[in-house]
Amino acid sequence: MNKSVSILGSTGSIGRQALEVAKFGNYKIRALTAFGSVELLEKQIREFKPETAAAADEKAAADLTVRVADTPTKILSGIEGVCECAAMQADVVLNSVVGIAGLTPTLAAIGAGNTLALANKESLVTGGELVMAAAKKNGVDILPVDSEHCAVFQSLAGCNDRGQIKRLILTASGGPFFGKNKEELKSVTAGQALKHPNWSMGEKITIDSATMMNKGLELTEARWLFDVPAEKIDILIHRQSVVHSLVEYVDGSVIAQLGVPDMRIPIQYALTYPDRHESPAQQLRLEDYGRLTFETPDYETFIGIDLCKRACSIGGLYSALVNGANEQANLLFRQGRIAFLQIGEAVEYTLDNIAPCQPGGVEEIFETDRIARQAVNKFFRIETEQ
């Protein structure tokens, strides 16, 4: 197989693993993008020889242009450059950009008719209706890369009627603070929150996993990907991260997808779909685990799941509002400016007190995101940076 692949966010955790999969499968890399990790992006350009690369940060793009001037790779800059890479003809465009910044590249890839391997959940959290409508209009397949959504996608094989689904069950590791109460979480640090027990991920998503906000965002993403209402999506804590998610049908059957906790498996499936090939990941040996456990989340301590579910049920751009508030609060925590539990408090304040824009297009989504971030700064009495 010699598919052509473009990877957006190639210097992040998912992007780096996607390049491992591409190398293992001998795929042709058409384009690479990053925000500003110039040294790593330069190494990737020299190894994988893409036709085009882009750095969203203008200064990083200028630096990169000088660094790789001896190569034939064309260097673009800004979000416009990232979108141009997304729109280049490729068999698959994998979007692993972090946060709402991934929305416009998602729409650019879909608008160009490219099959989209989606690791940027915020595209659907903030603009689910817009993205799914664009995909339908352009006849584009959206293949989920998140392990949970890839598991649901596989467990839905053969289901031709969504009415046969009783519920989707997304599993969660519980993060580094599983079993701790609010009192125990008052003084935890970003360093502690970044020590995930099972997965190797970027800082933003690892903090989201620690607050369990990530599972709320995944619930919202699943609502759009699989056209299932939020009320029919449940969460289970599964510490071993072997059962990646399940689908329960009306006849009582429950179909699950299992595998070792290795993101290269869902990444590869998105790139090879509908085929399967040998993987660089280890084989799952259930006898090595001995026991698999499942528990109900502590919704009182980890309030992010219910906040996302509420926003999803209200509809409109409330999920975009919650996402923006979380992104800002998550950043402030990583900067050491707020406490861990204040992330959820800020999101809850924003959901309860701030109205998003009326649904329209991309401009309304980004304006809602701006309003949410501003609300969080106001909540913490932080002067809004221009």
CATH number at residue 327: 1.10.1740.10
pLDDT tens digits along 15-69: 999 999 999 999 999 999 999 999 999 999 999 999 999 999 999 999 999 999 9
Annotate 328-385 with DSSP letters as a single string: HHHHHHHTTSS-TTHHHHHHHHHHHH---PPS-SHHHHHHHHHHHHHHHHHHTTPPPP
Give the model's pLDDT for residue 386.
42
Whether 118 is covered by a domain: the verdict is: yes
Q: What is the CATH number of the domain that holds 39?
A: 3.40.50.720
Whether 325 is covered by a domain: the verdict is: yes
Question: Which of helix, strand or coil describes residue 237?
Answer: strand
Residues 57 and 109 in one domain: yes
Host domain of residue 233: 150-261
Whether 80 is covered by a domain: the verdict is: yes
Residues 14 and 140 in one domain: yes
Give the model's pLDDT for residue 200.
62
Residues 50 and 162 in one domain: no
| One pLDDT digit (tens) per residue for the chain, 386 residues | 589 999 999 999 999 999 999 999 999 999 999 999 999 999 999 999 999 999 999 999 999 999 999 999 999 999 999 999 999 999 999 999 999 999 999 999 999 999 999 999 999 999 999 999 999 999 999 999 999 999 999 999 989 899 999 999 999 999 999 999 999 999 999 999 998 776 667 789 899 999 999 999 999 999 999 999 999 999 999 999 999 999 999 999 999 999 999 999 999 999 999 999 999 999 999 999 999 999 999 999 999 999 999 999 999 999 999 999 999 999 999 999 999 999 999 999 999 999 999 999 999 999 999 999 999 999 999 876 54
Residues 108 and 229 in one domain: no
Global confidence as pTM: 0.94
Residues 10 and 131 in one domain: yes
pLDDT tens digits along 129-175: 999 999 999 999 999 999 999 999 999 998 989 999 999 999 999 99
Domain stop point among 115, 144, 173: 144
Domain stop point among 236, 261, 286: 261
Whether 209 is covered by a domain: the verdict is: yes
Residues 40 and 103 in one domain: yes
Residues 280, 21 contacting (CB under 8 angstroms): yes
Residues 122 and 34 in one domain: yes
- Kindly state the greatest CA–CA separation across the chain: 62
Give the model's pLDDT for residue 220.
98
Give the model's pLDDT for residue 158.
86
Whether 294 is covered by a domain: the verdict is: no
Residues contacting residue 252 through CB under 8 Å, at least 6 positions apart: none
Whether 73 is covered by a domain: the verdict is: yes
| Number of domains the chain contains | 3
Whether 267 is covered by a domain: the verdict is: no
Residues 27 and 131 in one domain: yes
Residues 234 and 322 in one domain: no
Residues 355 and 374 in one domain: yes
Q: Is 310 exposed, middle or buried (0-12, 13-18, 19+ CB in 10 A)?
A: middle
b/e per residue 11-23 (b: at least 16 CB within 10 A): bbbbbbbbbebbe
Residues 250 and 375 in one domain: no
Residues 353, 324 contacting (CB under 8 angstroms): no
Residues 138 and 156 in one domain: no
Whether 124 is covered by a domain: the verdict is: yes
Domain stop point among 261, 295, 325: 261
Q: Which of 155, 116, 156 is nearest to 138 (CA)?
A: 116
